[in-house]
């Protein structure tokens, strides 16, 4: 049950929304399509769902060409950002909708709906209407409705973005748990890097209609391939080879610069810079932001402002002189 996309592309009135997208999704994968607004995530999801036709390329599911297959025959479960529940149907009727369309026997539908109500943990709300539910509960019902027909693939389009932070966090855990339990391959669109890092087995980072990098959350954070990925996922310091040679030469010993060094930048995450108080140190602490367990600060070092994160216990103040060291165990070169 794997999905293979090769060389998929799509234009709208001459605007290339998707350029040459190739991607594989394994049988139990949770894949997040991550990228800024307008980069083509939803377009790609709609093409996979069959709601939109690609201009070219191939999409195979378990070896079968999906090209001309209508959405319903694909048997994919889809959950959109707006819960899009049927307002005049109860929770039970909403969840059972797909099964009724398929003319499943009523007893089997009732049993399946009960099972899903347990799974999404709202067993006592079966007879309510959507307007009697909170946003999080509505999104649970939308998920149950998508799961009812035993889909071969789940497609989620920013399903949590309308929820407040606390409910969103709770739902993230639930979606992940349900997906792990059912082992259905899942593709979720999000522009929220934290969500992608938390949920995905594989992140597909998109920019401008193209894939920038595909990898595990760990890889995209610790080994970003491009400046875009380094900037989009987490905070980063992007240091030229020249600056690094002058201020942190030990980093160049650990990470020799690529041949054409002017085209590369060394990506260093804020938590990999350590500070020691030193009145003769080469750097000065700038603005300090208290984040509870962490302090985030800017650091004037040579002609650069770096971002640094320290445990909040190590309280530096604006104006303190410090001696920074970058941990040579971390850092990687990205294309500028």
How far apart, in whole angstroms, are the C-alpha atoms of residue 53 and residue 5?
13
Q: How far is the CB of 33 from ligand ATP (least distance, A)?
A: 8
Q: Is 37 in the site for ligand ATP (CB under 6 A)?
A: yes
Q: Is 145 in the site for ligand ATP (CB under 6 A)?
A: no
Q: Is 68 in the site for ligand ATP (CB under 6 A)?
A: no
Q: Is 140 in the site for ligand ATP (CB under 6 A)?
A: no
Q: How far is the CB of 38 from ligand ATP (least distance, A)?
A: 4
Beta-carbon contacts of residue 237 (< 8 Å; ≥ 6 apart)? 267, 268, 269, 270, 273, 304, 306, 307
Q: How far is the CB of 36 from ligand ATP (least distance, A)?
A: 7
Restricting to residues 183-212, which ones interact with ligand ATP according to CB under 6 A? 191
Q: Is 41 in the site for ligand ATP (CB under 6 A)?
A: yes
Region of 53 (left: φ > 0; alpha: ψ -120 to 50; beta: rest) is: beta
Q: How far is the CB of 232 from ligand ATP (least distance, A)?
A: 12
Give the residue, chosen from 5, 39, 48, 230, that forms a contact with ligand ATP under the rule CB under 6 A. 39
Give the residue, chosen from 42, 202, 244, 310, that forms a contact with ligand ATP under the rule CB under 6 A. 42
Could you give the string, one character per residue 4-23, with x where binding to ligand ATP holds by CB under 6 A and - elsewhere? --------x----x------
Q: Is 31 in the site for ligand ATP (CB under 6 A)?
A: no
Give the chain as a 3 state SS string: CCEEEEEEEEEECCEEEEEEEEEEECCCCEEEEECCCCCCHHHHHHHHHCCCCCCEEEEEECCEECCCCCHHHHCEEEECCCCCCCCCCCHHHHHHHHHHHCCCCHHHHHHHHHHHHHHCCCHHHCCCCHHHCCHHHHHHHHHHHHHCCCCCEEEEECCCCCCCHHHHHHHHHHHHHHHHHHCCCEEEEECCHHHHHHHCCEEEEEECCEEEEEECHHHHHHCCCEHHHHHHCCCCEEECHHHHHHHCHHHHHHCCCCCCHHHEEEEECHHHEEEEECCCCCEEEEEEEECCCEEEEEEEECCEEEEEEEECCCCCCCCCEEEEEECCCCCEEEEC
Q: Is 78 in the site for ligand ATP (CB under 6 A)?
A: no
Among 41-49, 55-63, 93-101, 236-244, the segment contacting ligand ATP (CB under 6 A): 41-49
Instruction: For residue 114, give both structure tokens.
Output: 């009960």
Among 37-45, 127-135, 195-203, 321-329, the segment contacting ligand ATP (CB under 6 A): 37-45
Among 35-43, 87-95, 166-174, 284-292, the segment contacting ligand ATP (CB under 6 A): 35-43
- Nearer Cβ to ligand ATP (55/250): 55
Among 32-40, 180-188, 218-226, 295-303, the segment contacting ligand ATP (CB under 6 A): 32-40
Q: Give the number of residues in contact with ligand ATP, rule: CB under 6 A.
A: 11
Q: Is 280 in the site for ligand ATP (CB under 6 A)?
A: no
Q: Is 218 in the site for ligand ATP (CB under 6 A)?
A: no
Give the residue, chosen from 5, 32, 43, 243, that forms a contact with ligand ATP under the rule CB under 6 A. 43
Residue ranges in contact with ligand ATP by CB under 6 A: 12, 17, 35, 37-43, 191
């Amino acid at each position: 049950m794997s999905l293979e996309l090769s060389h998929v592309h799509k234009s709208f009135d001459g605007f290339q929304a998707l350029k040459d997208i190739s991607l594989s999704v394994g049988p139990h994968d949770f894949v997040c399509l991550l990228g800024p607004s307008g980069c083509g995530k939803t377009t790609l999801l709609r093409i996979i769902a069959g709601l939109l036709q690609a201009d070219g390329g191939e999409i195979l599911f378990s070896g079968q060409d999906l090209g001309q297959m209508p959405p319903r025959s694909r048997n994919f479960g889809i959950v959109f950002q707006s819960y899009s529940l049927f307002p005049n149907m109860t929770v039970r009727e909403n969840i059972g909708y797909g099964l009724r369309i398929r003319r499943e026997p009523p007893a089997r539908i009732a049993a399946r709906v009960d099972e899903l109500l347990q799974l999404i943990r709202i067993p006592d709300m079966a007879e309510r209407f959507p307007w009697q539910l909170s946003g999080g509960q509505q999104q649970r019902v939308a998920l149950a409705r998508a799961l009812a027909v035993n889909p071969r693939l789940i497609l989620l389009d920013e399903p949590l973005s309308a929820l407040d932070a606390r409910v969103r966090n709770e739902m993230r855990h639930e979606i992940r748990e349900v997906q792990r339990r059912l082992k259905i391959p899942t593709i979720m669109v999000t522009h929220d890097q934290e969500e992608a890092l938390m949920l995905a087995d594989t992140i597909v980072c998109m920019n401008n209609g193209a894939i920038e990098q595909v990898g595990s959350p760990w890889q995209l954070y610790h080994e970003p391939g491009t400046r875009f990925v380094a900037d989009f996922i987490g905070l980063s310091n992007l240091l030229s080879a020249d600056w690094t040679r002058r201020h942190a030469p030990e980093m160049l010993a650990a990470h020799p610069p690529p041949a054409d060094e002017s085209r590369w930048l060394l990506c260093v995450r804020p938590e990999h810079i350590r500070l020691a108080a030193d009145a003769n140190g080469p750097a000065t602490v700038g603005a300090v932001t208290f984040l509870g367990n962490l302090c985030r600060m800017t650091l004037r070092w040579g002609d650069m402002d770096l971002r640094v994160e320290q445990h909040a216990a190590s309280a530096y103040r604006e104006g303190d002189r410090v001696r920074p060291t970058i941990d040579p165990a971390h850092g990687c070169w990205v294309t500028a």
